[in-house]
Amino acid sequence: MILEDGTTLKGSGFGYPGEVTGEVVFNTGMVGYPEALTDPSYSGQIVTQTYPLIGNYGVPSHDIVDNFGIPSHFESNKIQVKGCIVSELQMKPSHWTNNKTLNDWLREQKIPCIEGLDTRELAKKLRTEGTMLGILKVAKKIDVEKVRKKLKTIENIDKKDLVNS
């Protein structure tokens, strides 16, 4: 992960291997990562989850619905974020609603993510300095300088008409 101010953050990749760019933001929820990842308000962003352990209850089934037939644990029918950052990923979730692991779900929906970062420190940086554009890359080998050069080509989300997209 490289932020537009040049900050380089190294972690371990999971989800889908790839490279994404976007506005880096944070979510401080203690629960609700399926809801956060499927929330259209995070569309096109790279979301940092500040709660230290993510994935512990897995991903519930879309078949669990409310009285109106709307899935109870999702805000939309797909993951809306471009990528995510977590402190620690739980690979063996335990909950009665668990349908699959977070890693499997992210891989299915082609979303790259990283773990092993101090997400609370990153959130403090973003809160103090404001949201930043960034590049998140998940690969076996990463040429950091090559990724750093791409920083100037990131589309600024502030200049995009999000209402009509």
Neighbours of 56 (CB within 10 A): 18
Confidence of residue 62 (pLDDT cuts 50, 70, 90): confident
In a domain, 57, yes or no: yes
Position 31 scores a pLDDT of 85
> Tokens at residue 111, please?
């979303």
pLDDT above 90 coverage of the chain, percent: 81
Residue 12 lies in a domain: yes
| Residue 160, domain member (yes or no) | no
Show the domain range for 30: 2-153
The total of structural domains in the chain comes to 1
Is 66 inside a domain boundary?
yes
What is the C-alpha to C-alpha distance for residues 26 and 158, in angstroms, rounded to an integer? 17
Q: What is the CATH number for 58?
A: 3.50.30.20
Q: Give me the mean pLDDT over the 84-97 stretch.
A: 95
CA 135, 90, 141, 117 torsion-angle sign: positive
Q: Are 116 and 84 in contact (CB under 8 A)?
A: no
Terminus-to-terminus CA distance in the chain, angstroms? 26
Write down the pTM of the prediction: 0.91
| Assigned domain for 91 exists | yes
Q: What is the DSSP string of 70-112?
A: -BTT-SSSS---SEEEESEE-SS---TTEEE-HHHHHHHTT-E
Residue 6 lies in a domain: yes
Note the pLDDT tens digit of each residue in 120-153: 999 999 999 998 999 999 999 999 999 999 988 8
- Return d(Cα 115, Cα 82) in angstroms, integer: 15
